[in-house]
Structure 1
Amino acid sequence: MDLEEFLKLLETKHTSEYINGKIIPKPMAKGKYSRLQLKLCNSVNDVTESEKIAYAFPELRCSFGIRSIVPDIAVFNWSRIPFATDGEVPNDFPLFPDWTIEIFSPEQKRGPKI
C-alpha cells in the first residue's frame, strides 16, 4: 500500500500513521496525557500566536513525501501554515511540521519513527 491508498482509508477507532510503507497504530490518549498535551499546546500558542510566529496543533495529521503522521503536537512556523483564502486553517496539512512533540507514558516503547 502506498501513501495515497493509505489516505483513502477511513480513520479507524484508533489513529494510525503511515511510515516507511507500514501502518502503525497510535496508542489511545489517557487523562494525564491529554492534560499535558493541552498545557503544552497552550504554552506554545500563548507565546507565539499573537505575534504570528508559530502555532501548535494537537493530533494533526501531516502527510508529506511517503509519510502520514499524527504527532501529539505539531508546531508550524506561522509563514508555513497553509491558510485558506478566507483566513481559516484548512483541514488538510500536506506538509511536514517544523517541530513535533510526542508524549510517552512509562509503559510505551520508544524508538525512532524514521
Structure 2
Amino acid sequence: MTASLTQIITVEEFLKLPYIEESPAWEYVDGVAIQKPMPKTRHSFLQKRLLTEVDSNSKAYTALPELRCTFAGRSVVPDIAVIAWNRIQVNEVGEPEDNFIAAPDWSIEILSPDQKANRVIDNLLHCLKHGCRLGWMLDPDDYSVLIFAPHQEPNVCRGICQLQVLEGVHLELTAEQVFAWLKIDKR
C-alpha cells in the first residue's frame, strides 16, 4: 500500500521534508506527498536488468535507478530514468549536480502489486507533456509493456512485439524477452 500525506503543500515545501529520500521514495503530485510502494523481487530483477541493458547499449544515454526528477510543479521518482549524458549538469569539480530539474528522456516504471496503474500512467503522461520522449510501464503480472510516446496513441506490447526505444539506444527487445529475465534456472 502507498502512503500519502493529504495536507496540500507546495513543491518547495515538499522538497524540504526530511523523509522524502527514505526508501521507498516519496513523490509530489498535485500538492500531495505520496510514498511509492516498496519494490518486490520481480520488480528488482527487471529494474536491474533494464539498467544494465540500456547502459551497455548506448553511449549517448545513461540509465539511473530511482532518480528524483523535479519539474513543472511535480517531483517524480521513475524506477529508471534514462537521460542523455549531455543533459546532466555538472558542478565546478566535474561531478553531477544532485538535483535533476527536468523530465528524463525516457521514463521506465515497473508496476508493483500494490501500485495504482493510473497514478503511474499520470506520472508518465506528465513526463511526456514536459519533454520526455518515451515512457514505459511494465506490468509483470500481465507480461505486458505499455508504451507512451509524444503525439502517439499508447501501445500495449506482449509476446514478440518489438519494444520502442530511444534513437541512440541500440537495443532490440520484445516483451517476451524482457519478462523471460524473471525465469531463474536453479541448476
- 5+ residue gaps, structure 2, are 1-8, 127-187
Tell me the alpha carbon deviations over residues 28-82 of structure 1, each in whole angstroms, 9 at most, x when there is no partner: 012221121011011101011xx3x111100011111201110000111121111
- Percent of paired sites with the same residue: 45
Instruction: Map residues 1-114 of structure 1 onto 2, 5 A cutoff.
Output: 1-12=9-20, 13=22, 14-48=24-58, 51=59, 53-106=60-113, 108-111=115-118, 112-113=121-122, 114=126
Which residue identity is paired with 1:47?
Answer: N
d(CA) in 2 for partners of 1:81 and 1:5?
25
4+ residue runs over 4 A deviation: none
SS at 1:101's partner residue?
A: strand
C-alpha RMSD over aligned residues: 1.7
Q: TM-score, normalised by structure 1?
A: 0.86
d(CA) in 1 for partners of 2:11 and 2:116?
25
Deviation at 1:109, TM superposition (A): 2.4
Report the structure number with the largest CA radius of gyration: 2
d(CA) in 2 for partners of 1:6 and 1:69?
12
d(CA) in 2 for partners of 1:93 and 1:84?
12
Deviation at 1:105, TM superposition (A): 3.2
d(CA) in 1 for partners of 2:37 and 2:49?
19
Q: TM-score, normalised by structure 2?
A: 0.55
- 5+ residue gaps, structure 1, are none
d(CA) in 2 for partners of 1:86 and 1:107?
41
Q: Which has the higher contact order (CA 8 A, sep 6+)?
A: 1
